[in-house]
Structure 1
Amino acid sequence: MNADAPRAELNTDFSSPDAEPTSWARVEELLSAPRTFWISTVRPDGRPHVTPLIAVWRDGVLHFATGPAERKALNLARNAEVVLTTGDAAWDEGCDVVVEGTAVRITDEDRLRALAGAWEATYGSFWKFDVRDGAFSGDGGAAWVFGVAPRTVFAFAKGDPSGQTRWRLR
């Protein structure tokens, strides 16, 4: 096990008897791959809001972008707590991951340029962004970039054996 990897806790109440914790390397592999993520935020009236997006895992932080006037950006202005999920579409194989944390807006332009390069490297030239005024800039206008340093991460290994692993990072 990597000395820098967080400690995994297998929840035996929701795991097969022969299950082992999912490795942190597997979680990072899933978070790094080009895939759809789902973000959950909280509306001003307390109702949940869930929407798909793409994200980039870099330096132990999960990053996503949204327009300043989009519902998720408006929600984050009032409550920055989020849940991001991703995984495999099959119900009986693969692994799903849940990341809980606080979304923090990133405005440092050097960091944004590095993230713009990561977006394009991960998702292709369709997702090419310039950086201007502390945000991504593209054909769709400005996009604010947020980073979520995970507080808690869950992995749900599906199939046989199945297992639920949790990491507390902060």
Structure 2
Amino acid sequence: MTSWQDVERAVPEFAQRVRELFEAHRHKTIATLRADGSPRISGIETVFEDGQLVFGSMPGARKGADLRRDPRFALHSATVDPVDGKEGAWPGEAKIAGRVTAQQTENGDHFVADIAEVVHTHLDEKATVLVVEWWTPTQGLRKVERA
């Protein structure tokens, strides 16, 4: 299992940027898989706690049922538009994908992320190039720039 703490140890500066994007806003978006295999997008709140990325689901919620049946997920930070004239300062957006370990509680489901991929998409300082950086436990940190 790859915890958030593992990401922080492997690529601290990258992990800090991603975490700041996730913590900048309360609401995020999660993708799960329905029983028929089609995707479901839901709003969700997440927290970094004791070196783990964790989130929950209320009793009877479909996203919780999806994750208990198929633990794969993709999580997206909140997105804000770049400010006109200051596009180079745009913080970008972040994504985390993997699988969850589910625990039932009296308040619903509690999920701990086993992280397979972390992505930070942003612009370069001149706002002329889209920069996509991504980290996986097996390949480490990689980067591509698109003009």
TM over 0.5: yes
Partner of 1:168: 136
Report if aligned partners of 1:6, 1:167 keep a CA contact under 8 Å in 2. Answer: no
TM score, norm. by length of structure 1: 0.62
Of 47, 51, 56 in structure 1, the residue corresponding to residue 47 of structure 2 is: 56
The whole-number CA distance in structure 1 between the counterparts of 2:30 and 2:67 is 11
Letter paired with 1:88 = T
Q: Would you say how many aligned residue pairs link Structure 1 and Structure 2? A: 123
Partner of 1:94: 91
Letter paired with 1:83 = A
Q: 1:60 to 1:149 in 2, by over 3 A?
A: farther
Of 147, 163, 169 in structure 1, the residue corresponding to residue 112 of structure 2 is: 147
Report if aligned partners of 2:71, 2:100 keep a CA contact under 8 Å in 1. Answer: yes
Taking only the aligned residue pairs, the percentage that are identical comes to 22
Gaps of 5+ in 2: 1-7, 139-147
Partner of 2:101: 104
Report if aligned partners of 1:156, 1:165 keep a CA contact under 8 Å in 2. Answer: yes
Partner of 1:5: 9
Q: Give the alignment's Cα RMSD to 1 decimal.
A: 2.5
Quote the offset at 1:57 in angstroms: 1.4
Gaps of 5+ in 1: 9-21, 107-133
Quote the offset at 1:144 in angstroms: 1.4
The whole-number CA distance in structure 2 between the counterparts of 1:33 and 1:153 is 17
Say which one has the larger Rg.
1
1:20-59 equivalence runs, <5 A: 23-59=14-50
